């Protein structure tokens, strides 16, 4: 019960941090643009990524989202490995005789865990995006806008995880054993195929955020294109690899039909 309360508290923190960070970042874009127009913009320094307190708050909020979602994921994995059947997600996905490897992959075998993993990967990718944009020395307004779009997206997924999927929901009546994992998912490809696809799916959100940030900042230069292009290529590689792995997996499961299923 303590784990469930702590986990749900962390999810609520991701909702709050995402929403506040998105608002602060997007509002910061407007302030930075106005300051640029008045030629009063403060140059980013070692202590400030954007020169605007609100936009900097958005970046710090993104770090909070990453930490809280990663810790939430760790708690779900801990519950799965410990066979904590007080959680409805654990009770519905594993059984006592399920090997440890499959108990770990059960994390993304259902909607609850998949959405939490999606949120965690998104926050991690967003943090890497901020670092890559700062390295490319893009304008502060663009950085703030891209961060705001990532946080706006993470707000959507955080709400889904915290209030709809609810991976930390507790069972009404404790069972001695769980329902177990579908035999079709008890395969080594389960450890490789879904995470690879998630990296590709979530990765696509980053170039979108960069382009949207450039539009919000009303930038007509090409300083950000190289960074966005690298993210597009990385996402394409993971998506292609994930599809190929899934196609290969389909030949090992009766009824899936192979590559052209």
In tens, the pLDDT along 194-242 reads 999 999 999 999 999 999 999 999 888 888 999 999 999 999 999 999 9
Q: Is 216 contained in some domain?
A: no
Give the pLDDT mean for 112-132. 97
Domain that holds residue 179: 2-183
Q: Is 194 contained in some domain?
A: no
Residue 187 tokens read as: 């395969």
Q: With CA atoms as reference, report the closest residue to 182 among 260, 105, 86.
A: 105
Question: 3-state SS string over 191-215?
Answer: HCHHHHHHHHHHHHHHHHHHHHHHH
Residue that is written with structure tokens 């609520």 in the block: 12
Q: Is 206 contained in some domain?
A: no
Total domains in the chain come to: 1
Q: Is 40 contained in some domain?
A: yes
Q: Is 260 contained in some domain?
A: no
Residue 257 has pLDDT above 80, yes or no: no
Q: Is 115 contained in some domain?
A: yes
Give the pLDDT mean for 40-59. 64
Residue 147 has pLDDT above 60, yes or no: yes
CB 178 within 8 A of CB 92: yes
Residue 50 confidence class, pLDDT cut points 50, 70, 90: low
Q: Is 45 contained in some domain?
A: yes
Give the range among 33-47, 133-147, 238-252 with minimum mean pLDDT: 33-47
Give the pLDDT mean for 246-254. 79
Residue 46 has pLDDT above 50, yes or no: no
Residue 43 confidence class, pLDDT cut points 50, 70, 90: very low
Give the pLDDT mean for 98-116. 95
Give the pLDDT mean for 81-97. 94
Q: How much is the pTM?
A: 0.90
Residue 233 tokens read as: 């290529």
Q: Is 164 contained in some domain?
A: yes
Give the pLDDT mean for 11-29. 96
Does residue 171 come out as left (phi exceeding 0), alpha (psi in the -120 to 50 range) or beta?
beta
CB 134 within 8 A of CB 140: no
Residue 70 has pLDDT above 60, yes or no: yes
């Amino acid at each position: 019960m303590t784990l469930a309360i702590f986990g749900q508290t962390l999810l609520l923190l991701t909702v709050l941090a995402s929403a506040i960070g998105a608002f602060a970042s997007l509002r910061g874009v407007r302030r930075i643009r106005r300051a640029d127009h008045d030629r009063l913009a403060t140059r980013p320094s070692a202590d400030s990524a954007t020169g605007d307190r609100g936009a900097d708050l958005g970046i710090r909020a993104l770090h909070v989202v990453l930490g809280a979602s990663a810790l939430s994921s760790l708690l779900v994995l801990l519950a799965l490995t410990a066979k904590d059947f007080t959680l409805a997600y654990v009770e519905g996905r594993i059984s006592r005789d399920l090997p440890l490897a499959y108990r770990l992959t059960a994390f993304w075998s259902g909607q609850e865990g998949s959405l939490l993993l999606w949120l965690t990967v998104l926050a991690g990718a967003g943090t890497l995006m901020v670092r890559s944009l700062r390295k490319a020395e893009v304008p502060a307004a663009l950085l703030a806008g891209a961060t705001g779009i990532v946080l706006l997206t993470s707000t959507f997924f955080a709400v889904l995880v915290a209030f709809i999927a609810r991976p930390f929901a507790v069972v009404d009546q404790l069972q001695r054993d769980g329902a177990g994992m579908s035999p079709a998912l008890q395969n080594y490809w389960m450890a490789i195929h879904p995470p690879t696809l998630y990296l590709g799916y979530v990765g696509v959100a980053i170039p979108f955020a960069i382009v949207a940030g450039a539009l919000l900042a009303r930038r007509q230069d090409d300083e950000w294109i190289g960074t966005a292009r690298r993210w597009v290529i990385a996402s394409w590689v993971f998506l292609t690899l994930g599809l190929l792995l899934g196609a290969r997996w389909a030949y090992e499961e009766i009824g899936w039909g192979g590559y052209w299923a």
